[in-house]
Structure 1
Amino acid sequence: MKVTTVGIDLAKNVFQLHGVNEFGKPVLKKQLRREQMAEFFVNLPACLIGMEACGSAHHWARKLQGFGHTVKLMAPQFVKPYVKTNKNDAADAEAICEAVARPNMRFVPIKNIEQQSVLALHRVRQGFVKARTAQANQIRGLLSEFGLTIPQGIGHIANRVPELLEDASNELPGSFRLLVQRLLDHLKALDAQVDALESQIVQWHRQSEASRKLEEVPGIGPITASALVASLGDAKNFDSGRQVAAWLGLVPKQHSSGGKHNLLGISKRGDSYLRTLLIHGARSVIHRAQQKPDACSWINGVVNRRHKNVAAVALANKNARIVWALLAHGREFRADYSTVKAST
């Protein structure tokens, strides 16, 4: 009987398949090795294929789409409730097959090769940034053991540490001076790596029309714009700007029951990297808005009523909605744009 829906439990070498027919009856339970995947699916009639959005999922989604299949990716936390028994590959594949057929399931947009390559630059750059921060903190901590303190901020490391190493009055051992100098050289190498990757990201940003369009929004620069374009892909996959804000975890988390609505802090779901970029960009806008009160009346009004952190999240939420409107409808950003209410 014809297979209409297939769930694939991805792995490094061994893939578990579970397929059902149009009536939902299991007709396929099979285990394939990596080298057998392409041969099997190229001969399988076109069907709906579901997979969890995990390692190599976008690669296999593109490959199976090339064979004529309809492929949908789902977040693992949305698949877990459909696992009936203990966890194993066969149960996971069956749960994926069940989840992908649900009409209210939320799916992850499939990224193309260019989007993945740009996001790889962002991820590696972020890794170097974290390593650079850790290295700076290690240098600061080691020097503090000898009673030498450095002001907060990574920029003070490169300015103050060489002076402390050259100062003979602080009685630092010679071996320790060589050790700190080695750490300082490593810090400079990490800083150079961050700058090089940032240059590649900015170069891609300048070649992307959509990314340059987003840069016009206050609080969004080349790094944030390129990350948003590469992550969102086709913005029409989202029904509204609020869905994008919810996807980024910038909307309140609910704990409501019995008709009583209780809104908590932001949900912090989705991509924490994008959410961090948007919030940090909003902080810079708030800082500049306080210097020019008349230029940004909306955000200054929010700051006057609420805490700066709340205002930063509110502006990040607003920018996320603006990003969706610009990408989904092909519009240009206008600072003086306002919605027109229909006359009654």
Structure 2
Amino acid sequence: MRNDSTVYVGLDVHKESITVAYAVDGGEVESLGRIGTTKTGIDRLCERLRSKARHVRVVYEAGPCGYGLYRQLVQKGFDCMVCAPSLIPRKPGERVKTDRRDAIKLVRALRADDLSAVYVPGTEDEAFRDLARAWASARDDLRQARQRLKSFLLAHGVRYIGSANWGPAHRRWLSEYSFGNEWQQLAFDEHRRTIEDRLAQCDRLEVALREAVFNWRFYPAVLGLQAMRGVQFVTAVGMLSELGDLSRFEHPRQLMAWLGVTPSEHSSGGKRRLGGITKTGNSYARKLLIEAAWSYRHPARVSRDIQCRHEGIPKALIDRAWDAQIRLCWRYRKLAARGKHVNIAAVAVARELAGFIWDIGRLAMSLAVPHREQAA
């Protein structure tokens, strides 16, 4: 083992096994076979890798197994990367796929510096993200349960006279309505009970999330983003829990590309062709971003709800949020006047909104630093 040598390691990770391949510097890629995912198996692998070279670089694809392996390898002192599976180079004519081939391919791509790393959150940030995702899943389950009940009533010709917005009057009518058939009434009661259960679950998770956000390190950014129009607590928490540290994006265009709201391009020679947005990256964060962008189709103004969210916020953030509202409302009107479809205009606004989120989020964190130091 030379002191200046480097071993490149590719791991094809599964639930019960890990297939390992390696290469020392520019040598041939060799296979180490398959190991288990237990701590003992990983410790033995680390000892074998240390015996081959002083510097060890490891890579594996992001997947359902999470970042536990990454943290174990980093704790051992290895240079580890979790790469994006969709950005791994692939040969068009390749028709054979095995775990051994995948591990060897990772080694060659890592040695050629041809892989794109994904962001690995800290343990606390990941825990907060899990809580935020649980709340989002509960809201989706609630929406689906309500839709199932509406479909059930529509199939039986039952219609509510008024606005079926799940307000007190609508819910009171649902609790008092009854079917003549016993089996239909049982099915109807189960649909209503599912909705009540989902409502209780959403309330529990929201209370827990609002309590946890006070101790989260990005809480100043959560408050700062809520100064903007269309960005309420749900959007601010959902966006930041998925984005993580905004300082990892050196330029707002990087955030736009990560959210998948930049136009695709297929240019050749003197022709430049732009297509629809790439839709890469985090789909949930992109959904929240576009939903927030729809609020800018109305004229710029500061509503009472936004005024309440401005309480206790530094004036620099409020001014920046107002600048964003003026700019984005004008942008939507300009695109609509040019005859652009409303969806295209909303996505264009969402792309610029991502830039303001990057700016305001970073500004909020910088303004909160002196307060934390003073409190310490």
Please state which band the TM-score falls in when normalised by the shorter chain: 0.7 to 0.9
Task: Supply the distance in 2 between the matched residues of 1:298 and 1:326 (Cα, whole angstroms).
Answer: 14
Tell me whether 1:185 sits opposite 2:196 in the alignment.
Answer: no
Tell me whether 1:147 sits opposite 2:157 in the alignment.
Answer: yes
SS of the residue corresponding to residue 44 of structure 1 reads helix
Q: Which runs of 5+ in 2 are unaligned?
A: 304-321, 337-341, 369-376
Task: Supply the distance in 2 between the matched residues of 1:115 and 1:6 (Cα, whole angstroms).
Answer: 28
In the other structure, the counterpart of 2:236 is: 225
> What pairs with 1:160-171 in structure 2 (closer than 5 Å)?
160=170, 162-163=172-173, 166=176
Task: Supply the distance in 2 between the matched residues of 1:100 and 1:237 (Cα, whole angstroms).
Answer: 22
Partner letter of residue 325 of structure 1? D
Contact 1:20 1:27 in 2 (8 A): yes
Task: Supply the distance in 2 between the matched residues of 1:167 and 1:14 (Cα, whole angstroms).
Answer: 55
- Deviation of 1:14 after TM superposition, in Å, equals 1.1
Tell me whether 1:298 sits opposite 2:327 in the alignment.
Answer: yes
Task: Supply the distance in 1 between the matched residues of 2:149 and 2:198 (Cα, whole angstroms).
Answer: 14
- Deviation of 1:82 after TM superposition, in Å, equals 6.1
In the other structure, the counterpart of 2:280 is: 269
In the other structure, the counterpart of 1:130 is: 140
> What pairs with 1:1-344 in structure 2 (closer than 5 Å)?
4-35=7-38, 36-42=41-47, 44-45=49-50, 46-79=55-88, 81=90, 86-150=96-160, 155-156=165-166, 159-160=169-170, 162-163=172-173, 166=176, 172-207=180-215, 208-287=219-298, 289=300, 296-307=325-336, 308-326=342-360, 330-331=365-366
- Deviation of 1:309 after TM superposition, in Å, equals 3.0
| Structure 1 range deviating more: 238-247 or 37-46 | 37-46
Task: Supply the distance in 2 between the matched residues of 1:10 and 1:3 (Cα, whole angstroms).
Answer: 22
Change in 2 beyond 3 A, CA 1:153/1:205: farther
In the other structure, the counterpart of 1:336 is: none
Partner letter of residue 359 of structure 2? A
Contact 1:18 1:29 in 2 (8 A): yes
Partner letter of residue 347 of structure 2? V
SS of the residue corresponding to residue 268 of structure 1 reads coil
Task: Supply the distance in 1 between the matched residues of 2:255 and 2:118 (Cα, whole angstroms).
Answer: 12
SS of the residue corresponding to residue 67 of structure 2 reads helix
Percent identity, aligned pairs only, is 24
Partner letter of residue 260 of structure 1? K
- Deviation of 1:5 after TM superposition, in Å, equals 0.8
- Deviation of 1:187 after TM superposition, in Å, equals 0.3
- Deviation of 1:29 after TM superposition, in Å, equals 2.5
Runs of 4+ in 1 over 6 A off after TM superposition: 151-154
**Equivalenced residues, count:** 330
In the other structure, the counterpart of 2:318 is: none
SS of the residue corresponding to residue 115 of structure 2 reads coil
Contact 1:248 1:270 in 2 (8 A): yes
Change in 2 beyond 3 A, CA 1:43/1:80: same
Q: TM-score, normalised by structure 1?
A: 0.84
SS of the residue corresponding to residue 156 of structure 1 reads coil
- Deviation of 1:133 after TM superposition, in Å, equals 1.8
Change in 2 beyond 3 A, CA 1:161/1:291: same
Task: Supply the distance in 2 between the matched residues of 1:167 and 1:19 (Cα, whole angstroms).
Answer: 67
- Deviation of 1:23 after TM superposition, in Å, equals 0.9
Task: Supply the distance in 1 between the matched residues of 2:182 and 2:175 (Cα, whole angstroms).
Answer: 9
Partner letter of residue 157 of structure 2? G
Say what the alpha-carbon RMSD is for the aligned residues.
3.0
- Deviation of 1:176 after TM superposition, in Å, equals 1.8
| Structure 1 range deviating more: 217-226 or 45-54 | 217-226
Partner letter of residue 305 of structure 1? K
- Deviation of 1:76 after TM superposition, in Å, equals 0.9
Contact 1:214 1:326 in 2 (8 A): yes
- Deviation of 1:26 after TM superposition, in Å, equals 1.7
Contact 2:132 2:241 in 1 (8 A): no
Q: TM-score, normalised by structure 2?
A: 0.77
Partner letter of residue 59 of structure 1? G
